[in-house]
């Protein structure tokens, strides 16, 4: 986060050529792409295998948001903290890879991780799991407005008194 802030103040852009796919046939070949080292999470390989990239980013962001908010989870009731995420689609690239894997090697190539990797609620579930939160865990899928809808729903939960603390936000990894 410090590097992001420093770059923003300096006017250094994170926009550049995309690396996830060959953009040469397109008129526009640049965009914003999150460069992320999943090892930063410090999770075992089997756990990382069941997480789409958007869930990995979300877990890291949730850890940082909780720390930035000064919330000490060791002194909080884990059943009183809700997780509300806004994610429409974990990853079209992952979905394509799973289908191609199955086409090339047949149904024997299907893995149990597919259910976890393609679940839009994966980020909310993984945040709750990672932070040890046992309150309500919800994913809101409303296309482009998923993140805003999640934040709005979290605010309504707090305003109505249904919740006293909510970890909320959203992310997308459609490409």
Q: What is the pLDDT of residue 8?
A: 82
Contact, 131 vs 62, CB < 8 A? Answer: yes
Q: What is the pLDDT of residue 163?
A: 96
Q: Quick check: 34 pLDDT over 80? A: no
Q: How many angstroms from the chain centroid is the CA of residue 67? A: 17
Tens-place pLDDT, residues 144-171: 899 999 999 999 999 999 999 999 999 9
Tens-place pLDDT, residues 38-52: 898 999 998 888 888
Q: Mean pLDDT across the chain, nearest whole number? A: 87
Identify which of 92, 88, 80 has the alpha carbon closest to the alpha carbon of residue 175: 92
Annotate 146-173 with b (16+ C-beta within 10 A) or e (fewer). bbebbbebbeebeeeeebebbbbbbbbb
Q: What is the pLDDT of residue 19?
A: 77
**DSSP element (H, E) containing 155:** helix 146-160
Q: What is the pLDDT of residue 170?
A: 93
Tens-place pLDDT, residues 74-99: 999 999 999 999 998 777 777 777 77
Q: What is the pLDDT of residue 102?
A: 67
Distances (CA, A) of 102 to 59, 95, 99, 113, 118: 29, 11, 5, 13, 15
DSSP letter assigned to residue 25: T
Q: How far apart are CA 62 and CA 125, in angstroms?
A: 12
Q: pTM of this prediction?
A: 0.82
Q: What is the pLDDT of residue 153?
A: 98
Q: Quick check: 1 pLDDT over 70? A: no
Tens-place pLDDT, residues 126-142: 999 999 999 999 999 99
Output 132 or 103, whichever has higher pLDDT: 132
Half-sphere exposure at residue 71, Cβ-oriented, CA atoms within 13 angstroms: 18
The residues near 33 (Cβ < 8 Å, ≥ 6 apart) are 16, 18, 19, 20
Q: What is the pLDDT of residue 110?
A: 66
Phi then psi for 15, rounded to 5 degrees? -85, 135
Decide: helix, strand or coil at residue 172: coil
């Amino acid at each position: 986060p410090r590097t992001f802030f420093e770059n923003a103040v300096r006017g250094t852009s994170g926009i550049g050529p995309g690396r996830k796919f060959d953009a040469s046939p397109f008129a526009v070949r640049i965009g914003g792409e999150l460069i992320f080292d999943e090892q930063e999470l410090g999770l075992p390989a089997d756990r990382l295998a069941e997480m789409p990239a958007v869930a990995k980013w979300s877990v890291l962001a949730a850890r940082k948001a909780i720390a930035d908010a000064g919330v000490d989870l060791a002194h909080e009731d884990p059943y009183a903290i809700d997780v509300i995420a806004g994610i429409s689609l974990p990853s079209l690239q992952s979905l394509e890879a799973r289908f191609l894997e199955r086409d090339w090697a047949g149904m024997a190539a299907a893995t149990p991780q597919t259910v976890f990797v393609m679940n839009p609620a994966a980020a909310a579930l993984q945040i709750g799991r990672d932070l040890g939160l046992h309150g309500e865990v919800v994913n809101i899928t409303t296309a482009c407005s998923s993140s805003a809808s999640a934040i709005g729903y979290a605010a309504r939960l707090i305003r109505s008194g249904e919740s006293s603390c909510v970890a909320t936000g959203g992310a997308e990894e459609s490409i």
